[in-house]
Chains A and B, each alone.
Chain A
Amino acid sequence: EAGVVQSPRYKIIEKKQPVAFWCNPISGHNTLYWYLQNLGQGPELLIRYENEEAVDDSQLPKDRFSAERLKGVDSTLKIQPAELGDSAVYLCASSPPTRIGEQFFGPGTRLTVL
């Protein structure tokens, strides 16, 4: 099966600029996750979708971050405006309804904010 697709793979922007990341999950996976991974640390959940509904966004900094998952398939994560501390890898993952805890990860987008 095709894996989770993310784009872009790398992004370099100046602070205060907006940036958007796109994720296409594995077909049939109703749950989609966005994680933040800082260097030398484990992934930290930003937001989780069950189909179109954001069911856990408690860790999403809502003053500058937003996400959407239209039609319950693709998802976009946006940062506006970006800050220096946002430099990290943004991971997207998806999981099917029957395999609790098993998540399939994309390659991530490495964001550098200058």
Chain B
Amino acid sequence: AQSVSQHNHHVILSEAASLELGCNYSYGGTVNLFWYVQYPGQHLQLLLKYFSGDPLVKGIKGFEAEFIKSKFSFNLRKPSVQWSDTAEYFCAVNPNNAGNMLTFGGGTRLMVKP
């Protein structure tokens, strides 16, 4: 079965610092990749997605993620974080032959200090 690893469980940054959250998955076939975000007191929502094509994808609020197939990675980045980016971030994998199934990583809790 596939698995998703997010090695950074907690990250604390100051505003304007750059962000990179790691995500690695174990699955040998073709996958679709997602980052979901959960802001404090809110429900999980989609941040960005990768299906195919340009491995650098851009999402909402200035976030981007890069798919590196050889490393089985899909890291999330943002050049300059804001206090409002404080949230929990989840990487998720959808194997191409698995319909709408998602396997989530354990999440990374980001705190941005004003």
* Residues of chain A whose beta carbon lies under 8 Å from any beta carbon of chain B: 3-4, 31, 40-45, 48, 55-56, 91, 93, 95, 100-108
Contact assessment for B90 and A42 in the assembled complex, using a CB-CB cutoff below 8 Å:
yes
20 extra interchain contacts, Cβ-Cβ under 8 A, other than A40-B9, A100-B100, A102-B46?
A40-B106, A40-B109, A41-B106, A42-B4, A42-B90, A42-B92, A42-B104, A43-B104, A44-B104, A45-B102, A91-B44, A100-B94, A101-B49, A102-B34, A102-B49, A103-B46, A103-B100, A105-B44, A106-B43, A108-B43
**Bound CA–CA A43/B92 (angstroms):** 10
Contact assessment for A41 and B49 in the assembled complex, using a CB-CB cutoff below 8 Å:
no
The A interface is mostly helix, strand or loop, or mixed, namely loop
Cβ distance B92 to chain A, nearest Cβ, rounded Å = 7
- How many A-B Cβ pairs are below 8 Å? 57
Q: Give the chain B neighbours of A101 by CB distance below 8 A.
A: 32, 34, 49, 92, 94, 100, 102
Total residues of chain B contacting the partner, CB 8 A: 25
B99: interface (CB < 8 Å) = yes
Cβ distance A11 to chain B, nearest Cβ, rounded Å = 17
Instruction: Return the CB mask of B61-80 against A: 1 if under 8 Å, else 0.
Output: 00000000000000000000
Q: Give the chain A neighbours of B46 by CB distance below 8 A.
A: 102-103
CB neighbors of A among B9-24 (8 A): 9
Q: List 11 A-B contacts (CB under 8 A).
A: A31-B100, A40-B107, A41-B106, A43-B44, A55-B99, A93-B44, A101-B94, A102-B46, A105-B45, A107-B42, A107-B43
